[in-house]
Structure formats: C-alpha cells, structure tokens
C-alpha cells in the first residue's frame, strides 16, 4: 500500500466551510459528506487505477522524492452547502494523488484556485497542500473519477464505477445550482450524473464547448476548457476566459429560485 497521511480525510467539510451549512438555509449535509469521503478514500473498486495510483505514490517524481504521497482516491473538497460545483476529470498523478486534495499541488490547481479567489469563491489564491488554509465559499470542487488514471484517461468502465460517488455528493450538497464542467470528459460525466439524478436533459445531447450553457430543471451546466498546462500554456484558456465562466456561475447561483441567502464569511 502506497501513500501516507492515513486517517485524515481531506476536504472542506470538517468544521464547516465559510458561508455554507452554518446558516442552515441552503441545506447540505456535512455529516453525509464526511461519511462519503471516508467511503471514497477506502475504495479499491478499479484494479487498474488502484495499481496505478499506488505505483505513482511509490516511485514518485524526483522533485517530490522526499514527500509521502497520498496514493488513494481523492474526495470532493469545499463548502458542504455549495451552490457552485466545479467538476474536473480526475486527480493528477503528482497533484491530487500526491497531496490528497483535488486541484492541489500542481499548475492546474494554481490556475483554478487563483480564479476561484478572484471570483470570491475561495479565501486565498493558492492551493499547495491539505493544511494550507484554503477554504472554498459556496463552491465545491470534485473529480468525476477519483483516482489518478494513467495518461489522464480513465476507461468507460472506470468512469461508470466512480460516477455514483459524484451523484451522491451532489445530492448531499442540498441545492447545487451550477456545475462548471472542466473539459469534455467532465461535461459528459455531468450529463450522466444528471440522468442518474432523474433530471431530464435534451436529446440529442448538447455538445461541450467553452462557454456552453445547458439549463435543466435542477441546475445549469457550464462548459469551460480545462486549466491544464496544455491549454493555459498555449493560450487556449486565458485568465479572462476562466473568470468569465466563474462570474456566470456565481450569477446563476445567486439568481436561482430560493437563493436569497448570500454567502457569508
Ligand atoms: Fe473507487 Fe472511483 Fe477509485 Fe475506481 S476510480 S477505485 S470507483 S474511487
């Protein structure tokens, strides 16, 4: 078994995140989310991904050779009553799989969390480690597949094995209003999650695109290019582009029915 940090579940649910369930007006189930986190962290359902995540944690990248990798599934992180959900593909081998928190310890995390901070959804612009003090406000970040996959490519079977965790997480959040889908894989996964939640979506399926918007009876999907180095280095995704999507997400969340309570903290 690879990885370190046994017994300390990552995630923002512990102790209550700013502006979330504390006011009791938006629902959300911190206890349910903590139970889900424990279940996710112990999951070994996908043999290929279990082997890969543990192999990466054992061999390590040279720059992190002195660190103990997490090497396990990475649960969702953030406000337990979030109205804005950011859905990624899967933890990065040397990012989330190393640090134990999604979008933490790599360039994609730097980009995403800096944008969340600019949008007022995070208390700081950096995401370095599980104990760096990062708190998300009215926002939760989750991965569609919770173990790091080889070449960032989970198989359809692995995706289907893991998606029930995301379905349950959205249910436990109470009133999520917007899902920002980082890339086509996340967009497709969100459509599958909506179907599992019994939410009708249009046929034929709406295709992913940056800025794509799909309103359903339950929540709205927003498409956004993934903040991967490939996209940010080439200028395919710029900071203003990411900021615009997150601004639209917060606008939609605030305008949703029953959204009169404003995030605090
Ligand atoms: Fe379990 Fe998901 Fe990891 Fe598969 S990808 S082992 S279902 S946590």
Residues pairing with 85 in the sheet: 140, 179
Give yes or no for residue 46 CB within 6 A of ligand 1.
yes
178-182, strands of its sheet edge to edge: 77-78, 139-143, 84-88, 178-182, 220-224, 213-215
Give yes or no for residue 43 CB within 6 A of ligand 1.
yes
Nearest ligand 1 atom to the CA of 45 is 6
Domain residue spans in the chain? 28-255
Residue 53 pLDDT greater than 90, yes or no: yes
- Residue 40 — pLDDT band, cuts 50, 70, 90? very high
Residue 5 pLDDT greater than 80, yes or no: no
Q: Give residue-wise pLDDT tens across range 16-25.
A: 333 333 344 5
The secondary structure element, H or E, covering residue 226 is none
Residue 265 pLDDT greater than 50, yes or no: no
**Beta carbons within 10 angstroms of residue 63's beta carbon:** 8
Q: Are strands 84-88 and 139-143 parallel, antiparallel or unpaired?
A: parallel
Give yes or no for residue 50 CB within 6 A of ligand 1.
yes
Q: How far is CA 10 from CA 16, 27, 55, 222, in A?
A: 13, 21, 21, 26
In the chain, DSSP assigns E strands to: 77-78, 84-88, 139-143, 178-182, 213-215, 220-224
Which residue's CA is the closest to the ligand 1 atom numbered 7?
162
Nearest to 10 by CA among 33, 44, 32: 33
Which residue's CA is the closest to the ligand 1 atom numbered 3?
147
- Residue 28 — pLDDT band, cuts 50, 70, 90? confident
Q: Once rounded to an integer, what is the mean pLDDT over residues 33-61?
A: 97
- Residue 251 — pLDDT band, cuts 50, 70, 90? very high
Give yes or no for residue 143 CB within 6 A of ligand 1.
no
Residue 125 pLDDT greater than 50, yes or no: yes
At 233, list the tokens.
């280095």
> What distance, in Å, lies between the first and last C-alpha atoms of the chain?
39
The secondary structure element, H or E, covering residue 228 is none
Sign of CA dihedral 83, 88, 90, 95: negative
Which residue's CA is the closest to the ligand 1 atom numbered 2?
162
Give yes or no for residue 179 CB within 6 A of ligand 1.
no
Please enumerate in sequence order all residues whose Cβ is within 8 A of that of 99, keeping only pairs 6 or more positions apart, or say none: 70, 105, 128, 129, 130
Give yes or no for residue 35 CB within 6 A of ligand 1.
no
Q: Once rounded to an integer, what is the mean pLDDT over residues 199-227?
A: 94
Taking all residues of the chain, what is their mean pLDDT, rounded to a whole number? 89
Burial class (CB in 10 A: 0-12, 13-18, 19+), 183: buried
- How far is ligand 1, taken at its centre, from the CA of residue 251, in Å? 33
pTM (two decimals)? 0.89
Residues 92 and 153 sit within 8 Å (Cβ to Cβ):
no
Give yes or no for residue 148 CB within 6 A of ligand 1.
no
Which residue's CA is the closest to the ligand 1 atom numbered 4?
46
Give yes or no for residue 249 CB within 6 A of ligand 1.
no
Burial class (CB in 10 A: 0-12, 13-18, 19+), 257: exposed
Residues 32 and 13 sit within 8 Å (Cβ to Cβ):
no
Distance of alpha carbon 24 from alpha carbon 66, whole angstroms: 43
Nearest ligand 1 atom to the CA of 73 is 8
Say which CATH topology domain 28-255 has.
Answer: Uracil-DNA Glycosylase, subunit E (3.40.470)
């Amino acid at each position: 078994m690879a990885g370190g940090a046994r017994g300390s579940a990552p995630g923002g649910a512990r102790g209550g995140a700013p502006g979330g369930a504390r006011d009791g007006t938006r629902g959300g189930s911190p206890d349910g989310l903590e139970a889900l986190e424990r279940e996710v962290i112990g999951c070994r359902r996908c043999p290929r991904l279990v082997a890969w995540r543990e192999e990466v944690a054992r061999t390590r990248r040279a720059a992190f050779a002195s660190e103990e990798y997490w090497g396990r599934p990475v649960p969702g992180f953030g406000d337990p009553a979030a109205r804005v959900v950011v859905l990624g593909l899967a933890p990065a081998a040397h990012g989330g799989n190393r640090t134990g928190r999604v979008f933490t310890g790599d360039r994609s995390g730097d980009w995403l969390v800096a944008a969340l901070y600019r949008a007022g959804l995070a208390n700081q612009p950096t995401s370095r480690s599980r104990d760096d003090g990062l708190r998300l406000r009215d926002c939760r970040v989750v991965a569609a597949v919770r173990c790091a996959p080889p070449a960032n490519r989970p198989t359809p079977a692995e995706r289907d094995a893991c998606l029930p965790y995301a379905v349950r997480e959205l249910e436990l959040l109470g009133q999520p209003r917007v899902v920002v889908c980082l890339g086509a894989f996340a967009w497709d996964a969100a459509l599958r999650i909506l179907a599992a939640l019994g939410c009708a979506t249009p046929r034929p399926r709406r295709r992913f695109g940056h800025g794509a918007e799909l309103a359903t009876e339950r929540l709205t999907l927003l498409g956004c290019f993934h903040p991967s180095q490939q996209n940010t280095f080439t200028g395919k995704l710029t900071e203003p582009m990411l900021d615009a999507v997150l601004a639209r997400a917060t606008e939609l969340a605030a305008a949703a029915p029953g959204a009169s309570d404003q995030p605090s903290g």
